[in-house]
Amino acid sequence: MRVRGYALIESLLASVILATGLLLAVSVFCVSARASWHNRQRAVATMLARDKMEELRQSATAGRLMIGGGLDPLHPISGFHEFIPPFHATHLRLWEIRGTGFQTVTVAVFELSGTTKPVELDRLSSGW
């Protein structure tokens, strides 16, 4: 003989287990989506840094490389920074060139969108 309400308790327990499983699946999806977005941002930043490094290397070969610059995103130095894209910028690219004979070049890319303070995504250094 079954006790009344036993099927109701089984159904509620099954619903709780199912809801817990669904919440875990959704949370894993959200973490995965956030990680994917962050990885995409870093890939874009790496591409931007490499492009600028190659441009500076070509300028050095042609003898048109100017010493100076800085990597502080809150105080970019004129002539050593670029907002990308130029209007409604999402990234800030800064570079610094040191040395007279052997030159060390550092390029840093910062994310501007959605933050009050720029967040560094990538930094490359090279010498020639």
pLDDT value of position 106: 96
Q: Is residue 40 part of a domain?
A: yes
* The pLDDT value given to residue 18: 95
- The reply to whether 34 falls in a domain is yes
Kindly state whether residue 58 falls inside one of the protein's structural domains: yes
d(Cα 70, Cα 21) in Å, to the nearest integer?
A: 50
Domain assignment of residue 10, given as a range:
6-127
Direct distance between the N- and C-terminal alpha carbons of the chain, in angstroms, rounded to an integer: 88
State residue 30's pLDDT score: 94
Are 105 and 53 in contact by the 8 Å Cβ rule? The answer is yes
Q: Model-level pTM?
A: 0.75
Question: In whole angstroms, what is the distance from residue 24 CA to residue 20 CA?
Answer: 6
Residues of the chain where predicted confidence (pLDDT) is lower than 70: 1-5, 115
Give Cα separations from 61 to 48, 65, 69, 128 (angstroms): 20, 8, 19, 9
What is the model's pLDDT at position 96? 95
Structural domain contains residue 46: yes
Give domain status of residue 1, yes or no. Answer: no
CB contact at 8 A, 16 and 24: no
Indicate the number of domains in the chain.
1
What pLDDT is stored for residue 23 in this prediction?
95
Residue 123 belongs to some domain of the structure = yes
pLDDT score of 109: 96
